[in-house]
Chains A and B, each alone.
Chain A
Amino acid sequence: MTHAGKSKTDEVLLELEDVHMYFGRVAALAGVNLRVRKGEIHSIIGPNGAGKTVMMNCINGLYRPQRGNVFFDGKRVNGYAPSKRARMGIARTFQKIELFGGMTVLDNIRLGRHIHMKSGIFSGGMWMGRARREEIEARNFIEEEIIDLLEIESIRHKTVNMLPYGLQKRVELGRALALQPRLLLLDEPLAGLNLEEVEDMARFILDINEEERWKVTCILVEHDMGVVMDISHSVFVLNFGHKIVDGPPKEVQANPEVVKAYLGEEDMYTTRR
């Protein structure tokens, strides 16, 4: 079952403090507190419209909460643009895939290397030493670390739009990984996948979290309870913008309120996209 304690430490990597997010008069988040420790897989679950995606967007900077604070690595990042947070080490995938559809798989992943490269207009336009060297380094990194890990050798030159849904999800994960993030936000990575693909994806997430090479802290939003309870160190249950519980999977599964609200209707989560 769970493997708590294996790779997590007690250092806090991300903290949400009393975060409120309103859309007009609708409160999508009403005072949420969350602590994510280094090295763990912290899942967020909750019914549709609970505000899970909004939470992810607040962490990564796409939304600016009206109240409350976001700390990353001990630093208050409230005013930081998403691009700045990405450079600090937050990467993410999206619930509805947001790939660069007209580009090849390789180019999509190359874009993930953006923050690790430096060439500007001049060196790029002249294709001088730095730009050229960087491009080849990036290519090596992508081939050896990401394409290998995610087993997408055969599609690297394919246009993303042409790929089946499951592979697109995988490419999106690859693109996020190319940032070599410290915190990875995964918004429903398993939704819409078939059984085999779900197994693969769960394995990739575990690899990313556990392998010495990566050791990435993950926040996982997912409806597939089986996988969530299996691979998470902690589970955060959100309902209409409010926290219900936040703790190790065992504790959450035993919580009467959660049982009443969700776990009783297990089948609800199995086929959703």
Chain B
Amino acid sequence: METFVVAMITGILVGGIYALVALGWVIIYKCSGVLNLAMGELTIIGAYVTLTFYTAGVPFIPAVLLTLVVGAFLGYLTERIFLDKLIGEPILAVIMVTVGLSFFLKGLVEFIWGTDTRVFTPPVFSIEPITLGFLKISPVYLWSFILSLVLLVVLVSFFKFTSWGLSMQATADDETAALSLGVSARFVYAASWAIAFMSAGVGGALLGNINGINISVGHLGLLVLPAVVLGGLNSIPGAIVGGITIGVLQNLAGTYLDVYFPGGVKEIVPFVFMTVFLLFKPYGLWGWERIERV
């Protein structure tokens, strides 16, 4: 029972970070229709940028804020250079541009920062576990969760309550209507990448605190894909639910299945789950079957 509760809670806490990255993915899809496979690389870049600031002596929270700024800038740049010309192209083309982008970014990251695992020194959070009743939780998880929660709340309220956020959603729904409201679609596309880069970057910085930073953080970044499939590709609450579900699933699998399948069950389970899920519910949890017209 105790292991179960610990696995659950750790799962939820890590899931919060996944939710943050998944939200970034959904924002890009919702606002510009791009299915982004470079999310993993955005995550690593965030992690390394934060690390670089941190090693240069900037305290962690300001380092994260700086990462936000850098992320926004990089996201804007990326959209302008790579995706701007592909609006309206077939799905394969758009997806493969993000794949090309992910190669480019991955090569760049490896070239600049190398492939050794780096850790935040000195550690940002104390290693001493926090005790809550019978539960022992390491502060990294807790603080990461709180930080990602704060960001999630900020982002969601940005979309729900500010006029910018609302007009970005308006573009997603109807480009011409948005144009008549004076919202520039191209600006929205770039802004969505900037926001996605920001959220993925912070997600990466937090994940990097847990196990150190190397290329495999990018693999963690890919876990958003099962998460968004679960939640429906363009639903913001779906991304949050999906992210947390994947976190929980992963930790439960790590706790219970590792005995039977030693090795990397933890990394694989979300993908297995996603495949089986798609076989039985091909339109996502809340999707419905649409009959094609002829």
Contact = CB atoms under 8 A, between A and B. Distances in A.
A–B: direct contact at CB < 8 Å: yes
Interface of A: 23, 53, 57, 62-63, 94-96, 98
B276 interface: no
Contacts of A23: 291
Contacts of B294: 53, 57, 62, 94-96, 98
Interface string B272-294: 00000000000000000001001
Nearest to B288: A24
A4 B294 CA distance: 32
6 contacts: A23-B291, A53-B294, A57-B294, A95-B294, A96-B294, A98-B294
Contacts of A63: 291
A63 B291 CA distance: 8
Interface of B: 291, 294
A95 B293 CA distance: 11
B271 to A, nearest CB: 29
Name B's interface SS: loop
Nearest to B292: A62
Contacts of A57: 294
A95 to B, nearest CB: 7
Nearest to A62: B294
Nearest to A23: B291
A258 B291 CA distance: 32
Q: Which 8 A-B pairs have the closest CB atoms?
A: A94-B294, A62-B294, A98-B294, A63-B291, A57-B294, A23-B291, A96-B294, A53-B294
A155 B294 CA distance: 26
Contacts of A98: 294
Contacts of A95: 294
Nearest to A187: B294
Given A23-B291, A63-B291, 7 more contacts: A53-B294, A57-B294, A62-B294, A94-B294, A95-B294, A96-B294, A98-B294
Contacts of B291: 23, 63
Nearest to A57: B294
Nearest to A94: B294
A232 B289 CA distance: 37
A90 to B, nearest CB: 15
B283 to A, nearest CB: 15
A224 B208 CA distance: 70
A94 B293 CA distance: 11
Nearest to A64: B291
A57 B291 CA distance: 11
Contacts of A62: 294
A270 to B, nearest CB: 25
A65 to B, nearest CB: 12
A136 to B, nearest CB: 33
A239 to B, nearest CB: 21
A98 B294 CA distance: 8
A62 B294 CA distance: 9
Nearest to B291: A63
B200 to A, nearest CB: 38
A21 to B, nearest CB: 10
A205 to B, nearest CB: 21
Nearest to A96: B294
A153 B291 CA distance: 37
B183 to A, nearest CB: 31
Contacts of A96: 294
A95 B294 CA distance: 8
A28 to B, nearest CB: 11
A82 to B, nearest CB: 10
A96 B294 CA distance: 7
Nearest to A21: B291
A173 to B, nearest CB: 16
Nearest to A95: B294
A62 to B, nearest CB: 6
A165 B143 CA distance: 65
A63 B294 CA distance: 10
Contacts of A53: 294
Contacts of A94: 294
A243 B291 CA distance: 24
A31 B291 CA distance: 20
A34 B294 CA distance: 22
